């Protein structure tokens, strides 16, 4: 046999076996085939609903499998469940184990763990698995609902029959004809009110427009006020300069006051002299007693 | 009327006889296969050459067909699953249909078309040319030298090629799960792992071994039924291939029964 045939066959077998082995190994790893598995013993009053290979589920994820079942001396059923090491954390001492048998689908044991601080379940313990027969429970739950639904349907029939006696949809809604007429009147009054409201609003619009013109128009209050304020500001500026001149003026006034005193004295003297002169003139005028004139 | 009934009865008896002889030959072959004397260099050499002609030579064509068929089937399958809302059963459908049923069926059909017909013709020609008589005259055990290596080759080749086909299918599934469902490798492998059961895997391997066993044994038996006339060779091949396909269907049905009971 040619040697290259042996080599080709050898390569084919090695590669195929490696590929298949790797695939199988990967799937086995994903199925926790290589992780350490702990066997927990659970107790149940009845073995109904349990079967080997049944899944143990936590939050919808399979975390274990029922391995074996046996009847104990006490008459209870002992169920051994295999749980891989990485899933043990989901089973705590405070966990509740319930056998669920849904109407459709495979039965399963569900773990409910509220307190994650509780110690992890040990293999020495034998917690009880409670039964929830979904069919019976569903019937129990559905029974009151059916009664309520019956009542509701009766009421619906009554309401329907009453409504069918009415002439209009409005009458069905409000109950009787008087109420219908009241509603109609109310609707008419709403129409009148609406018209009035329209008128008022148009007047208000006019007033607002006028006010707007009075305030913001070319001859409006705002413009006038602006002019006045501008004028006042100008005058204040000028007054400011006048106030600045006040000290100078005051000094000049002080000096002028002294001059005025002198002037006043001169004027007084002059007036006095003129008076004296007048007196002299009076004296010179006939029929006057004194004719003597004293020149100052 | 009597002739028709006689014909039907004759056919039934012939079929039963053929079935019985095949089962008997299978039992004898299995018994001989576990004999230590079967393991010698000559048998091993024949086994290697048979694996080469059966599995290695067709490998490029086999991989091409696997990729083409696998891609098409997985694409259609995943799209249909999405359309009818069976997303939660994706893993079960992938493993239960594609890997466990489709993959071995396609593999066995390809091998039967190529190797079974070749083995049947080869044995029939050897019978016509009195080569088998010559081996017997020289006290060479034909079972040990000719038949058992071919049967073992059929079993090994089918298991290995089925494994390759399954890997290609699963890889195509990964691509389409990403494209159609937006699923990552972690989720896909988790779904796949959750759907693989040991019992299904054992049935798959057993089915492949059984397929490989019978698609080589039946052509050998059919070739040995040829006479010393050359014209019996095509008749022998024709009958042999029909029996091979009937055997494939029967094994498939039995495996389905084993899986779902």
Nearest CA in chain A to B95: A27
| A242 found inside a domain | yes
Same domain for A44 and A129, yes or no, is: yes
Q: Do B49 and A62 touch (CB under 8 A)?
A: no
Report chain A residues whose CB lies below 8 A from the CB of B55.
9, 12
| B8 found inside a domain | no
Q: Do B189 and A31 touch (CB under 8 A)?
A: no
- Tens digit of each residue's pLDDT (9 = 90 or more) over B48-73: 999 999 999 999 999 999 999 888 88
* Percentage of residues in chain A having pLDDT higher than 90: 8
Angle, helices B103-111 vs B148-181, to 10°: value is 140
| B15 found inside a domain | no
Q: Identify the pLDDT of residue B248.
A: 94
Looking at CA atoms only, how far is residue A77 from chain B in angstroms?
27
Q: Do B167 and A5 touch (CB under 8 A)?
A: no
C-alpha separations of A244 from A237, A251, B21, B76 in Å: 11, 13, 143, 103
Bridge partners for A131 per DSSP? A99
CB-based burial label for B145 (10 Å; 0-12, 13-18, 19+) = middle
Point out the domain boundary residue: A152, A185, A216: A216
Q: Do A30 and B49 touch (CB under 8 A)?
A: no
Q: Identify the pLDDT of residue A291.
A: 53
Q: Identify the pLDDT of residue A59.
A: 86
Mean per-residue pLDDT for B182-189? 83
| B18 found inside a domain | no
- Tens digit of each residue's pLDDT (9 = 90 or more) over A150-191: 888 888 888 777 777 766 666 666 667 777 788 788 888 888
- B163-178 in b/e form (b: 16+ CB < 10 A) is bbbbbbbbbbbbebbe
Which of B56, B193, B196 has the CB atom closest to A9's CB atom? Answer: B56
Q: Identify the pLDDT of residue B168.
A: 92
Same domain for A222 and A237, yes or no, is: yes
Domain count across chain B? 1
* Percentage of residues in chain B having pLDDT higher than 70: 100
Nearest CA in chain B to A28: B193
Task: Indicate if the pLDDT at residue A137 is higher than 70.
Answer: no
Report chain A residues whose CB lies below 8 A from the CB of B193.
27, 30-31
Q: Pick the residue of A5, A7, A14, A62 with the most B CBs within 10 A to test the interface with B by mutation.
A: A5
- Determine the distance from the C-alpha atom of residue A2 to the mean position of all C-alpha atoms in its chain, rounded to a whole number: 83
What DSSP character marks residue B53? I
Higher pLDDT, residue B42 or B242 = B242
Lowest-confidence pick of A88-97, A98-107, B196-205: A98-107
Looking at CA atoms only, how far is residue B91 from chain A in angstroms?
12
Same domain for A101 and A131, yes or no, is: yes
Q: Do A19 and B163 touch (CB under 8 A)?
A: yes
How far apart CA A279 and CA A283 sit, in angstroms, is: 6
Length of chain A: 296
Task: Indicate if the pLDDT at residue A51 is higher than 80.
Answer: yes
Q: Do A20 and B163 touch (CB under 8 A)?
A: yes
Q: Is A223 on the interface with B (CB under 8 A)?
A: no
What DSSP character marks residue B49? H
| A89 found inside a domain | yes
Q: Do A30 and B192 touch (CB under 8 A)?
A: yes
Same domain for A191 and A222, yes or no, is: no
Report the 3 state secondary structure along chain A.
CCHHHHHHHHHHHHHHHHHHHHHHHHHHHHCCCCCCEEEEEEEECCCCCCCCCCEEEECCEEEEEEEEEEECCCCCEEEEEEEEHHHHHHCECCCEEEEEECCCCCCEEEEECCCCCCCECCCCCCCEEEEEEHHHHHHHHHHHHHHHHHHHHHHHHHHHHHHHCCCCHHHHHHCCHHHHHHHHHHHHHHHHHHHHHHHHHHHHHHHHHHHHHHHHCCCCHHHHHHHHHHHHHHHHHHHHHHHHHHHHHHHHHHHHHHHHHHHHHHHHHHHHHHHHHHHHHHHHCCCCCCCCCCCC
Mean per-residue pLDDT for B204-211? 93
| B47 found inside a domain | yes
Q: Are A77 and A52 in contact (CB under 8 A)?
A: no
| A164 found inside a domain | no
How far apart CA B154 and CA B54 sit, in angstroms, is: 8
In chain B, the largest separation of any two C-alpha atoms, in whole Å, equals 68
- Determine the distance from the C-alpha atom of residue B182 to the mean position of all C-alpha atoms in its chain, rounded to a whole number: 36
Looking at CA atoms only, how far is residue B210 from chain A in angstroms?
19
What DSSP character marks residue B141? -
- Tens digit of each residue's pLDDT (9 = 90 or more) over A219-271: 777 788 888 888 888 888 888 888 888 888 778 777 777 777 787 788 788 77
Q: Identify the pLDDT of residue A292.
A: 57
Confidence at A286, pLDDT banded by 50, 70, 90: low
Nearest CA in chain A to B54: A9
Domain count across chain A? 4
Q: Do B160 and A17 touch (CB under 8 A)?
A: yes
Structure tokens at B77: 């399958």
Q: Identify the pLDDT of residue A1.
A: 64
- Mean pLDDT, chain A, rounded, equals 81
What residues make up the domain containing A182?
Answer: 174-216
Q: Identify the pLDDT of residue B126.
A: 93
Which residue is associated with the tokens 């029974």? A143
Higher pLDDT, residue B154 or A259 = B154
Task: Indicate if the pLDDT at residue B212 is higher than 90.
Answer: yes
Mean per-residue pLDDT for B134-144? 88
Q: Pick the residue of B51, B91, B145, B170 with the most A CBs within 10 A to test the interface with A by mutation.
A: B51
How far apart CA B197 and CA B203 sit, in angstroms, is: 10
Q: Do A5 and B164 touch (CB under 8 A)?
A: no
Same domain for A74 and A91, yes or no, is: yes
Q: Pick the residue of B42, B52, B174 with the most A CBs within 10 A to test the interface with A by mutation.
A: B52
| B2 found inside a domain | no
Q: Do A1 and B190 touch (CB under 8 A)?
A: no
Q: Is B118 on the interface with A (CB under 8 A)?
A: no
Q: Is A12 on the interface with B (CB under 8 A)?
A: yes
How far apart CA B61 and CA B48 sit, in angstroms, is: 20
Which residues 48-67 on chain A approach chain B with CB closer than 8 angstroms? 62
Q: Identify the pLDDT of residue A169.
A: 65
Q: Is B163 on the interface with A (CB under 8 A)?
A: yes
Could you tell me which of B209, B5, B167, B213 has the C-alpha nearest to residue B70?
B167
What residues make up the domain containing B65?
Answer: 40-260
Report chain B residues whose CB lies below 8 A from the CB of A64.
none
| B160 found inside a domain | yes
Q: Identify the pLDDT of residue B116.
A: 93
- Mean pLDDT, chain B, rounded, equals 89
Same domain for A198 and A263, yes or no, is: no
- Determine the distance from the C-alpha atom of residue B212 to the mean position of all C-alpha atoms in its chain, rounded to a whole number: 4
Which of A16, A17, A30 has the CB atom closest to B189's CB atom? Answer: A30
Alpha carbon dihedral B200, B202, B207, B208, in 10-degree steps, equals 110
State the complex-level ipTM. 0.80
Structure tokens at B216: 């080589």
How far apart CA A232 and CA B170 sit, in angstroms, is: 96
Could you tell me which of B65, B54, B95 has the C-alpha nearest to residue B195?
B95
Which residues 67-86 on chain A approach chain B with CB closer than 8 angstroms? none
| A163 found inside a domain | no
Q: What phi and psi values does residue B94 have, to the nearest 5 degrees?
A: -60, -50
Higher pLDDT, residue B261 or B64 = B64
| A167 found inside a domain | no
Q: Do A1 and B48 touch (CB under 8 A)?
A: yes
How far apart CA B25 and CA B19 sit, in angstroms, is: 10
| B34 found inside a domain | no
């Amino acid at each position: 046999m040619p040697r290259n045939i042996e080599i080709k066959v050898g390569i084919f077998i090695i590669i195929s076996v490696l590929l298949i082995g790797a695939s199988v190994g990967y799937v086995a790893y994903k199925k926790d085939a290589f992780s350490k598995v702990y066997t927990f013993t659970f107790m149940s009053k009845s073995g109904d609903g349990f079967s080997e290979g049944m899944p143990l589920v936590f939050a919808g994820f399979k975390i274990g499998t029922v391995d074996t079942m046996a009847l104990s001396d006490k008459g209870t059923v002992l169920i051994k469940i295999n749980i891989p090491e990485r899933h043990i954390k989901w089973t705590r001492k405070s966990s509740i184990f319930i056998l669920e048998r849904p109407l459709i689908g495979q039965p399963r044991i569900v773990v409910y763990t509220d307190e994650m601080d509780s110690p992890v379940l040990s293999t020495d313990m034998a917690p009880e698995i409670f039964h929830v027969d979904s069919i019976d429970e569903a019937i129990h739950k559905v029974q009151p609902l059916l009664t309520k639904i019956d009542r509701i349907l009766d009421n619906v029939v009554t309401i329907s029959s009453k409504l069918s006696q009415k002439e209009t949809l409005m009458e069905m809604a409000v109950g009787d004809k008087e109420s219908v007429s009241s509603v109609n009147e109310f609707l008419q009054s709403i129409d009148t009110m609406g018209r009035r409201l329209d008128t008022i609003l148009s007047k208000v619009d006019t007033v607002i427009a006028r006010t707007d013109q009075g305030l913001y128009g070319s001859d409006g209050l705002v413009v006038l006020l602006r002019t006045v304020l501008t004028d006042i500001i100008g005058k204040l500026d000028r007054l400011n300069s006048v106030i600045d001149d006040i000290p100078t003026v005051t000094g000049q006034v002080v000096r002028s006051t002294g001059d005025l005193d002198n002037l006043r004295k001169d004027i007084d003297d002059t007036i006095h002299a003129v008076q004296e002169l007048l007196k002299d003139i009076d004296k010179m005028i006939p029929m006057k007693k004194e004719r003597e004139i004293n020149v100052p | 009327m009597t002739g028709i009934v006689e014909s039907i009865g004759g056919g039934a008896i012939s079929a039963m006889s053929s079935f019985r002889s095949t089962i008997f030959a299978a039992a004898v072959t299995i018994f001989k296969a576990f004999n230590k004397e079967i393991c010698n260099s000559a048998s091993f050499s024949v086994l290697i050459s048979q694996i080469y002609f059966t599995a290695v030579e067709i490998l490029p064509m086999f991989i091409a067909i696997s990729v083409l068929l696998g891609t098409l089937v997985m694409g259609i399958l995943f799209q249909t699953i999405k359309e009818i809302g069976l997303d939660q059963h994706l893993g079960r459908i992938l493993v239960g249909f594609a890997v466990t049923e489709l993959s071995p069926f396609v593999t066995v059909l390809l091998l039967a078309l190529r190797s079974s017909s070749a083995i049947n013709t080869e044995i029939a020609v050897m019978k016509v040319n009195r080569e088998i008589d010559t081996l017997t005259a020289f006290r060479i055990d034909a079972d040990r030298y000719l038949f058992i290596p071919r049967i073992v080759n059929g079993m090994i080749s089918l298991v290995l090629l089925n494994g390759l086909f399954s890997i290609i299918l699963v890889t195509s599934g990964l691509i389409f799960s990403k494209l159609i469902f937006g699923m990552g490798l972690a989720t896909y492998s988790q779904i796949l792992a959750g759907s693989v059961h040991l019992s299904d895997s054992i049935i798959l391997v057993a089915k492949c071994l059984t397929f490989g066993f019978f698609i080589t044994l039946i052509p050998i038996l059919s070739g040995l039924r040829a006479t010393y006339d050359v014209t019996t060779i095509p008749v022998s091949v024709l009958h042999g291939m029909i029996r091979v396909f009937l055997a494939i269907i029967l094994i498939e049905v039995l495996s389905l029964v084993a899986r779902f009971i």
